Amino acid sequence: MSALSDVQATLDPSRKSWIESANDSTSDFSIQNLPFGIFSDRHNDARRVGVAIGDQIADLAVLQSAGLLQVPAQHVFARDTLNDFIALGRDAWRGVRIQLSHLLARDTATLRDDPALRAKALVRQADAHLHLPVQIPGYTDFYSSKEHATNVGAMFRDPKNALLPNWSEMPIGYNGRASSVVVSGTPVRRPNGQLKLPDQERPVFGACRKLDIELETGFVIGGGNALGEPVACADAEAHIFGMVLLNDWSARDIQQWEYVPLGPFNAKTFATTISPWIVTLDALEPFRVAQPVQEPQPLAYLRHDGEHAFDIHLEVTLRPREARQASTIARTNFRHMYWTMAQQLAHHTVSGCNTRVGDLMGSGTISGPTEDSYGSLLELTWNGKKPLELKEGGTRSFIEDGDELTLAGWCQGDGYRVGFGTCVGEILPAQR
């Protein structure tokens, strides 16, 4: 068999694992998924590489030491980030995926029937602590949902000319702060900044009053490009290791005052939360779908043949501090994104900008065509004019202290899921 056909075999919907929790049709972490992350646990505080499978984590450092994973680098899984493994390249990622899929398959006895090794190699997710999966050299956030850009333009500019002329010609983006990207579960403090109140001539300093989320995904660079050597759109997906959920926390009132003329700054830099598991593009391949029709036709360097969107279901819940149940406030799908990941990377590098392993690229807010599919509170409440009703009473126009926001995402297969887990953050009061 060829390497490509071996990868295809890992996607077989009928493949089951001897780890029974992975066979639950609602589990994010089926044997068809096998996402990578960094974890430690209460018995071993060393951070190392793991793969989620059902309610367990497979410790790849243990499996490599036991000779069950062949990788072209020693001790590459006994590291506190995925960067060194990712840097081995696409053949290595696929090789590990193929080996793990076979090792964890229901009919493979090697690990299944070795209780001593199994006890070392598997850690319950409930007993693990998940960490930021990669060291992130650089972070860029795009603005690639036509629905989101149209809503914001209609809200703050002329509804008849909501999109600026350049929006339909290129993937708009800005360079964010890699230093403030945090892993799911990290509390986020409400930012302070300059606020321009409508009845005052000069700004005031204080805590953000319009704190918001942006429901996004992000992709992680797996193969960088040299300075001065752009990545072609047709080749771009080969440079992507995988995807995460991403919450681009946004201080709308700070943003409104500061963004002219150079775009967002302190309104975005205080925190960006990502999910801990990176889902590879190979795992997402069965869910590839056509992207929206692009009019006008993009310039030549942004053109690619085939389908480059993915059918990823996304939702957001909000739970106030005292609430027992969270309220679902939005449901949408990644397939609505106008500009593709390949186009984003091609445009990012067309000037000669280099990228590095671990660079993070945010999709931009993912909004759909209906009011309940908008990816931000700014849109869902139309800048606070239409507050949302919560399940246990009360309303929200923007996020309040103590609120916990959770993003979730998954692809639904025939009897299995390829999921991202969750991306969670609780808001703490502003520093006084």
Segments making up each domain of the chain, as ranges: 3-131, 139-428
Q: CA–CA separation, 295 vs 306, rounded Å?
A: 16
Collapse the DSSP code of 194 into the 3-class scheme (helix H, G, I; strand E, B; otherwise coil) and give the result.
strand
Give the Cα separation of 382 and 375 in Å (integer): 12
Tell me, which fold does domain 139-428 have in CATH?
Fumarylacetoacetate hydrolase; domain 2 (3.90.850)
What does the alpha-carbon distance between residue 312 and residue 233 come to, in Å, rounded to a whole number? 22
CA dihedral 31, 341, 308, 419 (to 10 degrees): 20
Query: What average pLDDT score do residues 324-351 get?
Result: 98
> Per-residue pLDDT tens for 210-265?
999 999 999 999 999 999 999 999 999 999 999 999 999 999 999 999 999 988 99
CA angle 3, 313, 378 (to 5 degrees): 135
For residues 46-75, one letter each, b for 16 or more C-beta atoms within 10 angstroms of the residue's C-beta and e for the rest, the string is: ebbbbbbbbbbbbbbbbbbbeebbebeeee
With vertex at residue 300, the alpha carbon angle to CA 295 and CA 306, rounded to the nearest 5 degrees, is 70
DSSP 225: B
pLDDT of res. 3: 77
On the 0-12 / 13-18 / 19+ scale of CB atoms within 10 A, 183 is buried
What span, in angstroms and rounded, lies between the C-alpha atoms of 47 and 130?
9
Q: Which pLDDT tens digit goes with each residue over 271-329?
A: 999 999 999 999 999 999 999 999 999 999 999 999 999 999 999 999 999 999 999 99
Query: What is each CA distance from 199 to 195, 203, 210, 246, in whole angstroms?
Result: 12, 10, 17, 35
The binding site for Mg(2+) consists of 248, 268, 272
Residues 271 and 288: beta-carbon distance below 8 Å: no
Q: Annotated binding site, which residues?
A: 141, 143, 157, 214, 216, 248, 255, 259, 268, 272, 365
Tokens linked to 141? 């956030």
Active site residues: 148
Per-residue pLDDT reduced to its tens digit, 9-39: 999 999 999 999 999 999 999 999 999 999 9
According to the model, what pLDDT value does residue 4 have?
78
Whether this model's pTM surpasses 0.95: yes
Asked if 397 and 377 touch (Cβ cutoff 8 Å), the reply is yes
286 contacts 307 by C-beta, under 8 angstroms:
no
CATH fourth-level superfamily of 3-131? Fumarylacetoacetase, N-terminal domain (2.30.30.230)
User: What tokens appear for 414 in the block?
Assistant: 């025939």
Q: Is 395 exposed, middle or buried (0-12, 13-18, 19+ CB in 10 A)?
A: exposed
Q: Which tokens hold the place of 296?
A: 């006008």
| Residue 269 backbone dihedrals phi, psi, to 5 degrees | -80, -10
d(CA 190, CA 180): 13
Rounded to 10 degrees, the C-alpha dihedral 154/317/179/142 comes to -30
Residue type, 129: H
Residues recorded for the chain: 432
Q: Tokens representing 287? A: 């869910």
Annotated binding site for substrate: 143, 157, 255, 259, 365
Mean per-residue pLDDT over the chain, rounded: 97
How far are the Cα atoms of 238, 261, 333, 400, 421 from residue 34, in angstroms, in the given order?
Answer: 19, 44, 22, 36, 12
